[in-house]
Structure 1
Amino acid sequence: MTDQTPAAPGPDEAQPDDFPDDFPDDIDLDEDDYDTENEDEQDVGPPHPVNWYLLRADALEEEWYELNRWVETLRRTYGLPASVIPPFWHRHDELVWELSSLHVHWLCAYHPEQDGSAPFGWHRDFADARQRLREWVAASGTRLDRDRPTRQTTWPGEDPADPVEDVFVADRDRDFVDYVAAQVAERRAAEDAFFAGADPATGEVLG
């Protein structure tokens, strides 16, 4: 004799008693209609270049920390010496722009919309970037445990450049945090002055 007893529902199957009394009987419970895992996610495509001059204060802080995390991963992944990526790269605009460009290039190369050969192209460009980084580091004079501003050439009619001196830095991470905080505060002050109609240089309200 065949057992016609219906199988017990699984733990994920809803029971009639689980629904309220006024629940519509004719509603179509299609699981595909209730897949909201990626409902609010939008594919924005590969990232655009970062223009550090135009970032608002909050975005500036976010970009600084994102770039710092990526550079830390990069130097450890490839065992890069301080002659390529020095600890105080954040204090040198030429290094920031080079590393930022390399970062965006990496994000684009490994974006899901890219083809399989894109990472190979990134590594080829990475070799060129390492050579440029060596040149920037050598020209700036920044070292493993100390730093100094990149020397500036004084053009005719300009005031003489400030003397360049080495500064010993004991804690690189603390130096980075303090430096970024100062950069963000300066950018925020400029924003506040702009929206207040003030001269960013003097703080004097115009008009």
Structure 2
Amino acid sequence: MLYQPSGPPIPLLWAAHSPEEQRHYLDELDLWVTWVIDHYRLDRRYIPECWAKHWELIEELSALHLAWEAAYATTSHADAPLTWHERLGHARPRLAEWVARTGCRGTEHRSIA
């Protein structure tokens, strides 16, 4: 279940955290990513199942999550949700490009050496 943020979110600098802390944040992000995939019916060309194995996708999805939290915080402006949808629209081509670069397809992960 998602929660409604009560105040401005704080950006997450992934590189500033230990691998253990990153796993914790990834677990939290995974809840939101699962929701956004289902809610917006995003197919795997935008967010493959292995997204958490690709830092470029983690960073992009983390930024989208931050924008979503900012849009739906109880302290947000009335038009903030519209801004979120505009940002999602701009992010979709970038997500597709990142996924294409990974070589992953649907449920098939490919490691880049």
> Is 2:32 the counterpart of 1:49?
no
Q: What is aligned with 1:192?
A: none
1:61 corresponds to: 23
* TM-score after normalising by structure 1: 0.50
Q: Tell me the distance in 1 between the aligned counterparts of 2:43 and 2:28.
A: 21
Aligned partners of 2:6 and 2:74 also within 8 Å: no
What are the ranges of 5 or more consecutive residues in structure 1 without an aligned counterpart? 1-42, 151-161, 163-207
| CA distance, structure 2, for counterparts of residue 58 and residue 44 of structure 1 | 26
Decide which structure has the larger Cα Rg and report it.
1
Residues in 2 aligned to 1:136 and 1:111: alpha-carbon distance in whole angstroms: 28
Name the structure where helix makes up a greater proportion of residues. Answer: 2
Q: 1:134 to 1:127 in 2, by over 3 A?
A: same
Distance 1:46 1:56 in 2: 24
Q: Is 1:82 matched up with 2:54? A: no
Measured in 2, the distance between the counterparts of 1:104 and 1:72 equals: 15
What is the CA–CA distance in structure 1 between the aligned matches of 2:39 and 2:19, rounded to whole Å? 30
CA contact (8 A) 2:64 2:88 kept: yes
Identical counterparts, % of pairs: 37
For residues 52 and 134 of structure 1, what CA distance do their matches in structure 2 show?
Answer: 22
**TM-score normalised to structure 2 length:** 0.88
**2: CA distance between counterparts of 1:45 and 1:69?**
20
Map 1:17-166 to 2 at 5 A: 45-150=7-112, 162=113
- Displacement of 1:49 in angstroms is 1.0
Alignment RMSD (CA, Å): 1.8
State the 4+ residue runs in structure 1 displaced beyond 4 angstroms. Answer: none
Instruction: Read off the aligned partner of 1:129 and give its amino acid letter.
Output: A
5+ unaligned residues in a row in structure 2: which ranges?
A: none
On the 8 A contact 1:92/1:149 being kept in 2, the answer is no
How many residues in Structure 1 have an aligned counterpart in Structure 2? 109
